[in-house]
Amino acid sequence: MHDQPIQEQQTIILEDPEQLIDIQALSNSVIDKQNSMLKEELRASKFGRLCDCKPSHLNCMEAKEWMLSQIGVWQFYYEKRDIRDKKKHPATFPISLAQKIISLFTHEGELVIDPFVGSGTTLLAAQDLNRNAVGFDLHPEYIQLSSGRLAQQNTFNHCRQIAIQDDARNIDQYFAPESVKLIWTSPPYSNLLNRKRKNKSRRDRDNEQLDKIEQYSQDERDLGTYPVDKWTQAMGDIFEKLLPLLKPKGHCVINVPDFWMDDSRITLHLYLVDELRKRGFELRNTIIWDRTNIVNNIGIFGWPSNYITMGTTFEYLLDFYKPSK
């Protein structure tokens, strides 16, 4: 037994379905326990400002930075800390984008939540900027990835950043009403990734993504498996439950693209604006994230008869807020 290769020992456990179920149940109960402790702790927390800014100010920005932010088309670069390996996570945004949104809509010490946190980019940006932040994701591997990235940063500050494994539908159980200053996220883009990659620009080259499905999971709670109608409804249901958590005039910024599927333009941003307005949010700004500086190797689409703009060249940053009473 002592000399048995580790691989074989693992196989014995995995071949016993009852044991497998027990291990799953055990890990679920540990997560449930952890999450209920976090719910109690977070609901009791205050998340007040740590800066000396005037109460009426939206953020800690000086006038010059504010002026530059008035431009409605933004560009960002990835840095070394950013994750660009699609095997680690298929769809991340740059830390600098998360920093920009957090700087615009919060003060030091205030609370940011990201309902679809993925690799934890929002949490890293919040750590850089001395903001409290809590991110949620369905998948344990992304929670581990986020926590690992946070632990690697040597930033000392007075705030906490936490990644929680839970469905975005349960977030209202974690926070007191009007305790959140900013909701910032990039949700799954309906079922855009839930199909085989046919990226023409990469077809002729060594391309590990070609013919692969890059979706996060096939979990029935995963919004990346939903067609547009079901996705819109689910987003509405989730954000309606988040609205009471936001402070009056607290912002909610959501990053989505439109895309092309089965010979049709899918206007995800329009569906989302309509749905969130119905659920009580007010649209304040539409910002274009110009991605042309980070897109390389453009292929040819539709030529010579069907004009199609490349979805990867820009995305929307939809800025809503909670109207004050």
Block residue for tokens 């085989």: 196
Q: Round to whole Å and give the CA distance between 86 and 263.
A: 26
Phi, psi dihedrals of residue 250, rounded to the nearest 5°: -75, 140
Q: How many chain residues touch ligand SAM (CB under 6 A)?
A: 23
Q: 174, 183 in Cβ contact below 8 A?
A: no
Q: Round to whole Å and give the CA distance between 60 and 219.
A: 40
The verdict on 167 binding ligand SAM (CB under 6 A) reads: yes
Among 42, 101, 138, 143, binds ligand SAM (CB under 6 A): 138
The verdict on 174 binding ligand SAM (CB under 6 A) reads: no
* 47-106 binders of ligand SAM (CB under 6 A): 89, 91-93
Task: Compose the 104-133 pattern: x for residues touching ligand SAM by CB under 6 A, - for all others.
Answer: ------------x-xx-x------------
CB of 1 to ligand SAM, least distance (A): 39
Nearer to ligand SAM (CB atom), residue 58 or residue 313: 313
CB of 42 to ligand SAM, least distance (A): 16
CB of 112 to ligand SAM, least distance (A): 13
Among 124, 163, 168, 235, binds ligand SAM (CB under 6 A): 168
Among 216, 231, 271, 289, binds ligand SAM (CB under 6 A): 216
Which residues make Cβ contacts (< 8 Å) with residue 325, sequence separation at least 6?
248
Binding site for ligand SAM (CB under 6 A): 89, 91-93, 116, 118-119, 121, 136-139, 142, 167-168, 186-188, 216, 221-224
